[in-house]
Chain A
């Protein structure tokens, strides 16, 4: 089957890293829209509030804490900046109500990192875990090499050859 990469990436990470703990993948955060809860009841209100509730990639429930995890293959800074907002929404999230008093750890998983981004994460209180399975490494290497001089020259040569051969 086809692979939405970040879904597979986060699921694989939690399956390997937390095999003995409950995990919520694609967890909506925050309260239902005010007014809907009173009118329709909590379950239906949460369904109707879908567009107004952000989703975090995963929440791991440990006895001593919750770990809120975002997985980013490329937009790493986006992941770091979202996590403090997500963590702040935990106490108001009905699906996590019974865990609301647990401390929250913010964690970003990514296959690669620069020193500057590591510093940003540290400043925001975000733990970073590098997870780089072979299937994602191939993809990252390919994307990172796309704009190199060698890759540009190879694409130009291929285009020229297509012109010469009259291939559409």
Chain B
């Protein structure tokens, strides 16, 4: 049985999300290259809609590029009024993200 409590991004596949809350947290991750544990800061969102389907999931952002892109919508929870369609492209150090920001009523 697989419990899908976290939103996963598959390279090249857009994922449309609506966020309801967020927090900056410290997480312990295992480095896939070195196999060592390390602490990273993560921007965590609560998600109530994924590709138009109601869900109760978390979305974890550890990429500084993606966090910087989303930062202007954090203050005052401005993200509540928008949907974010995030497409992860590439792998590893060259990963980039396309982020479509759409007013929720549009």
Say yes or no: is B101 at the interface (Cβ < 8 Å to chain A). yes
Chain A proximity mask over B78-90: 1 for CB below 8 Å, otherwise 0 = 1000000000011
Chain A proximity mask over B5-16: 1 for CB below 8 Å, otherwise 0 = 000000111000
How far is B102's CA from A12's CA once the two chains are assembled, in angstroms? 15
Which of B13, B41, B99 is A25 in contact with, Cβ under 8 Å? B99
**Which residues of A sit under 8 angstroms from B100, Cβ to Cβ?**
22-25
- With contacts A1-B43, A22-B102, A24-B100 taken as known, whether A8 is within 8 angstroms of B12 at the C-beta atoms is no
Residue pair B68, A47 in contact (C-beta under 8 Å): no
How far is B81's CA from A20's CA once the two chains are assembled, in angstroms? 10
Q: Give the total number of A-B pairs whose CB atoms are below 8 A apart.
A: 78
Say yes or no: is A142 at the interface (Cβ < 8 Å to chain B). no
Chain B, Cβ-Cβ closest to A6: B68
Say yes or no: is A27 at the interface (Cβ < 8 Å to chain B). yes
Say yes or no: is A140 at the interface (Cβ < 8 Å to chain B). no
Say yes or no: is A44 at the interface (Cβ < 8 Å to chain B). yes
- With contacts A1-B43, A1-B67, A2-B64 taken as known, whether A11 is within 8 angstroms of B72 at the C-beta atoms is yes
User: How many B residues touch the partner, as a band?
Assistant: 20 to 34
Residue pair B73, A28 in contact (C-beta under 8 Å): no
- With contacts A20-B103, A50-B89 taken as known, whether A8 is within 8 angstroms of B72 at the C-beta atoms is yes
How far is B54's CA from A160's CA once the two chains are assembled, in angstroms? 64
How far is B13's CA from A47's CA once the two chains are assembled, in angstroms? 9
Residue pair B101, A25 in contact (C-beta under 8 Å): yes
Give me the 4 closest cross-chain CB pairs, A-B, nearest first: A47-B12, A15-B72, A8-B68, A7-B68
Which residue numbers of B lie inside 8 Å of A, CB to CB? Answer: 11-13, 24, 41, 43, 64-65, 67-73, 78, 89-90, 96-103, 106
Which residue numbers of A lie inside 8 Å of B, CB to CB? Answer: 1-5, 7-8, 11-12, 14-16, 19-28, 43-44, 46-47, 50, 55, 95
22 A/B residue pairs, CB under 8 Å, sorted by A: A1-B41, A1-B68, A3-B68, A4-B65, A4-B68, A7-B69, A8-B69, A8-B72, A15-B72, A22-B101, A22-B102, A22-B103, A24-B99, A24-B100, A25-B98, A25-B100, A26-B96, A26-B97, A27-B98, A44-B12, A47-B89, A55-B98
